[in-house]
Amino acid sequence: MGENGLLIVGSSQAGVQLAVSSRALGYAGPVTLLGDENHRPYQRPALSKDFLQDKITKESLIFRSQEFWDEHRITVVKGERIEKIVTAPDGAGTAWSASGRAFPFDRLALTVGARARRLDVPGAGLDGVLYLRNADDALELKARTAGAERVVVIGGGFIGIEAAAGLHALGKRVTLLEFADRLVARAVGTETSRFLLDHHRRAGIDIRLGSAVDEIVGHDGKVRAVRAGGEEIAADIVLVGVGVIPNTELAEEMGLRCDNGIVVDHHAVASDGTTLAVGDCANLPNPVPGSCAGERVRFESVNHAIEQAKVAAHALLGRQEEYGGIPWFWSNQGDLKLQIAGLSSGYDRTVVRSPADPLKHSVLYYRGDRLIAADCVNVPLDFMAVKQALTRRVTLPPDAVADPAVPLRSLLAEAAAPHEGNLS
Amino acid sequence: MPKITFADADGDTRTIEANVGDSVMETAVRNGIGGVVAECGGSLSCATCHVIVDEHDFASLPPMEEMEDEMLWGTAVDRTGTSRLSCQIRVTEDMDLRVTLPETQV
């Protein structure tokens, strides 16, 4: 091992976890965690949720105290944007920042995340067209929100809906425009899309589906309205949440294979055989048990960043560790807490449990007779039971789960019992 | 200053001076108490900040909400009579809380 140690480019959730896990597993060399923002490493999920609504402070987003970093000999560098990286065949090399600093390393990890996809319509560059990806975006949105009455949100994915619900709770008049014919089409099934739509409309958000934005209309360089489908919707600010693009530019310049993210193997190792890539920027073999061979995925989730970082920390130490657990996601939208366990893509059957409470909803996804995922709104009991079932690789009988009076936990206990002999 | 004592599954303990208004989870994570994972950062979504509160201290805490109670059914180590999610416990003036960490959170 050389003297330069591990350089982690990107002080993201994945970067922080990789630094922490490397130390926890006994990596002895220097660890440098480098970020391009002028903030200490922080957690992103709340930026579109509690932070937007002033329910929590910036301080509570900070991952670890400086004492923690010092104690674990992890050097945290802020405000350095890496522009060029050169590596030797053994994986060692140097990264140079825009300010001209050189960061030599024995081993490199890219935890560079993704960036907000920009809207490509006339007027997209007007003052008042905002995005929400990092802390500075959130601070600007909060500052601008204060003087705004009418907000148009473009995009009905998680970020768009979370922000719309939060801004609506702050008393803003919110219109949400979604291009597709349903909300969050990429992550949930039609039943959940419908539930979310009905709830948020009832709450008072003006949601328009199948709405293609033609132009952002301005006056004196500032946003005034959004024109969609021939109609003009007045707006003091416009928030765009139309997905993200993985940051693969550094990897591409290094000659690493990239295809919707930096292509890595089961152990988070990129195509040069040494560089690690973890989190939103990585494209990996689908880690879900039972998934098709050769199928690849790119996740945008905290859970994934943490699990893949642990795998990468093992790889750093020359060990091959299995990816743990099953993917899960959450989204807090006003009164709704949506929790998703597993991946529902490829399902051929759903079972909706319909509790009497109109604020609750859960739907289980099956491929054949096998349970593969669930969306649960305000029903943590169901979410937890499905997550455990998937982790233990047992299925919950589709006919039995339909009755909302039957706790899934009791079915889990029954389902697990006959298989215990096989699993050991 | 308020104090939180964390005992890990092996019985090793560490006492941390906490800030009023922070959660017990935040106190643990920022100071590197490894037995608290807190994947979701305190938004009551993951049940990986499970702690078992000392029996004498348990009654002094404000009671838990239904959501926390439901989440506690999904912890990696089964809940006990004094289990809580540490993200939902706010540090108060003069708090002197003792909690035990489960063997695993995931």
- Domains with residue ranges and CATH for chain A: 6-115+245-316 (3.50.50.60), 118-242 (3.50.50.60), 335-423 (3.30.390.30)
Contact list in B for residue A301 (CB cut-off 8 A) is none
- Domain membership of residue B47 (yes or no) is yes
Q: Is A77 exposed, middle or buried, given 0-12, 13-18 or 19+ CB atoms closer than 10 A? A: middle
Q: How far apart are CA A312 and CA A328, in angstroms?
A: 19
Give A269 to chain B, closest Cα distance, Å: 23
Are the Cβ atoms of A68 and B67 closer than 8 angstroms?
no
The helix/strand/coil state of A298 is coil
- Domain membership of residue B105 (yes or no) is no
- Domain membership of residue B88 (yes or no) is yes
Contact list in A for residue B47 (CB cut-off 8 A) is 380, 384
In this complex, is the C-beta atom of A43 within 8 Å of any C-beta atom belonging to chain B? Answer: yes
Provide the residue range defining the domain that includes B9: 3-100
A46 → closest Cβ in B22, B37, B41 = B41
Nearest to A27 by CA among A321, A317, A243, A307: A317
In this complex, is the C-beta atom of A65 within 8 Å of any C-beta atom belonging to chain B? Answer: yes
- Residue B40's closest chain A neighbor by CA? A302
Nearest to B100 by CA among B4, B2, B6: B6
Confirm if A71 and A61 have CB atoms less than 8 A apart: no
pTM recorded for the entire structure: 0.94
∠ at Cα B22 (B27, A164), nearest 5°? 120
User: How many CB atoms are located within 10 Å of the residue A102 CB?
Assistant: 9
The packing angle between helices A302-316 and A13-24, to 10°, is 40
Which residues is A228 bridged to in the sheet?
A213, A231
| pLDDT tens for chain A, residues 1 to 424 | 579 999 999 999 999 999 999 999 999 999 999 999 999 999 999 999 999 999 999 988 999 999 999 999 999 999 999 999 999 999 999 999 999 999 999 999 999 999 999 999 999 999 999 999 999 999 999 999 999 999 999 999 999 999 999 999 999 999 999 999 999 999 999 999 999 999 999 999 999 999 999 999 999 999 999 999 989 999 999 999 999 999 999 999 999 999 999 999 999 999 999 999 999 999 999 998 878 889 999 999 999 999 999 999 999 999 999 887 899 999 999 999 999 999 999 899 999 998 889 999 999 999 998 999 999 999 999 999 999 999 889 999 999 999 999 999 999 988 866 444 344 3
What helix, strand, coil percent values describe chain A, rounded to 5?
Answer: 30, 30, 45
Are the Cβ atoms of B73 and A384 closer than 8 angstroms?
yes
- Residue B28's closest chain A neighbor by CA? A64
- Domain membership of residue B26 (yes or no) is yes
- Domain membership of residue B106 (yes or no) is no
Q: State how far the alpha carbon of A54 is from the alpha carbons of A51, A57, A145, A168, in Å.
A: 5, 7, 12, 13
Q: State how far the alpha carbon of A290 is from the alpha carbons of A238, A308, A391, A421, A423, in Å.
A: 42, 18, 12, 20, 15
Number of domains chain B is built from:
1
∠ at Cα A307 (A301, A311), nearest 5°? 135
In this complex, is the C-beta atom of B77 within 8 Å of any C-beta atom belonging to chain A? Answer: no
pLDDT per position as a tens digit, B41-93:
898 999 999 999 999 999 999 999 999 999 999 899 999 999 999 999 999 99
CB neighbour burial string for A374-405, b if at least 16 within 10 angstroms, e if fewer: bbbbbbbbbbbbbbbbbbeebbbebeebeebe
In this complex, is the C-beta atom of B91 within 8 Å of any C-beta atom belonging to chain A? Answer: no
Are the Cβ atoms of A302 and B67 closer than 8 angstroms?
no
Give the CATH number of the domain where residue B68 resides: 3.10.20.30
Which of B37, B73, B83, B85 to probe by mutation at the A interface, max A CB count within 10 Å? B73
In this complex, is the C-beta atom of B34 within 8 Å of any C-beta atom belonging to chain A? Answer: yes
Residues 6+ apart with CB under 8 A from A57: none
Residues 6+ apart with CB under 8 A from A73: A23, A30, A31
Confirm if A155 and A242 have CB atoms less than 8 A apart: yes
The helix/strand/coil state of A192 is helix
ipTM: 0.91
